[in-house]
């Protein structure tokens, strides 16, 4: 997963045009449409560097959770007034429950297997209060994933130059992305690689996982950027 790139994450996705404010407006609208509670406690699963959490905090009382300690370091520095904690989305256990839980930017794919998908959705559902809502943005399905794809991203700031090249592959229902980073700064030039492996789940896989967690489930086909969004309400 992320081994060295956490501190460059925001610069890379910023230059790619990821719009956290626009995405959060969509998320906020769906929460208001489906939530059945009056509370505002929100847990952002796989919060990364905290960009979604930071915008969501304008509307809700937000906590973040991530399995990558480097990401949490960045998030805590960006948003010192929010609480970010370490935990695995598959089996985290907190002492409180939430009105809203979000898992965005296709982070659910990192659970890799269908068994872990079911465990993760159940764990999230178990941390919702009655009437609470869960929103999960999926990764690609097996039929959507393209192997052999090469993609490059460039950051060209005065004090930071980045070229990131990726190559996609697949083994069974596991998608792999090999990232190659070339980083230039006042400290010199650095090169490193990372491999990210994410599970390729079908629409039926997601729906079944939500329904087995006793969530009334809706599928928003467009979602935040075309990948769709699954919304579950706890009875």
| 180-222 residue pLDDT tens | 999 999 999 999 999 999 999 999 999 999 999 999 999 999 9
* Helix pair angle (114-126, 203-212), 10° resolution: 40
- The residues facing 133 across adjacent strands are 100, 233
- Amino acid 160: pLDDT: 97
Residue range(s) of every CATH 2.20.130.10 domain in the chain: 150-199
What DSSP element (H or E) covers 153? strand 150-156
- Amino acid 43: pLDDT: 99
Residue 60: pLDDT band (50, 70, 90) is very high
The pLDDT tens digits for 106-156 are: 999 999 999 999 999 999 999 999 999 999 999 999 999 999 999 999 999
Angle, CA of 102, 144 and 220, to the nearest 5°: 40
Helices in the chain by DSSP H: which ranges? 9-15, 20-34, 51-56, 69-78, 114-126, 203-212
Burial zone of 56 (CB within 10 Å; 0-12 exposed, 13-18 middle, 19+ buried)? buried
The pLDDT tens digits for 142-152 are: 999 999 999 99
Query: Is 63 in contact with 99 (CB distance < 8 Å)?
Result: no
- Amino acid 155: pLDDT: 98
pTM for this model (two decimals): 0.97
Mean pLDDT of the chain: 97
d(CA 110, CA 107): 6
Whether 18 has a pLDDT exceeding 80, the answer reads yes
Whether 172 has a pLDDT exceeding 90, the answer reads yes
**Owner of token pair 């990821």:** 18
Q: Which CATH class is domain 150-199?
A: mainly beta
Whether 1 has a pLDDT exceeding 80, the answer reads no
pLDDT > 90: percent of the chain: 98
SS (H, E, C) 103-151: ECCCHHHHHCCHHHHHHHHHHHHHCEEEEEEEEECCCCCCCCCCCCCEE
Please check whether the domain covering 6-141+202-234 is classified as CATH 3.30.300.30: no
pLDDT > 70: percent of the chain: 100
Query: Is 70 in contact with 86 (CB distance < 8 Å)?
Result: no
- Amino acid 4: pLDDT: 86
Whether 15 has a pLDDT exceeding 90, the answer reads yes
């Amino acid at each position: 997963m992320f081994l060295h790139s956490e501190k460059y994450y925001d610069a890379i996705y910023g230059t790619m045009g990821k719009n956290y404010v626009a995405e959060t407006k969509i998320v906020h609208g769906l929460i208001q449409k489906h939530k059945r509670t009056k509370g505002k406690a929100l847990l952002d699963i796989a919060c990364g560097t905290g960009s979604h959490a930071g915008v969501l905090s304008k509307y809700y009382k937000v906590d973040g959770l991530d399995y990558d300690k480097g990401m949490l370091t960045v998030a805590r520095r960006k948003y010192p007034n929010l609480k970010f904690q370490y935990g695995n989305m598959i089996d985290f256990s907190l002492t409180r429950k939430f009105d809203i839980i979000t898992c965005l930017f296709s982070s659910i794919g990192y659970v890799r297997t269908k068994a872990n998908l079911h465990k993760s959705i159940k764990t999230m559902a178990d941390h919702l209060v009655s009437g609470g809502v869960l929103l999960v943005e999926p990764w690609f399905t097996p039929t959507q994933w393209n192997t052999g794809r090469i993609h490059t991203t460039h950051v060209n700031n005065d004090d930071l130059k980045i070229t990131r090249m990726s190559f996609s592959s697949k083994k069974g229902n596991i998608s792999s992305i090999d990232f190659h980073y070339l980083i230039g700064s006042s400290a010199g030039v650095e090169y490193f690689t990372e491999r990210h492996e994410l599970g390729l789940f079908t629409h039926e896989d997601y729906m079944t996982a939500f329904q087995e967690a006793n969530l009334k489930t809706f599928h928003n086909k467009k979602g935040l950027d075309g990948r769709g969004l699954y919304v579950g309400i706890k009875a």
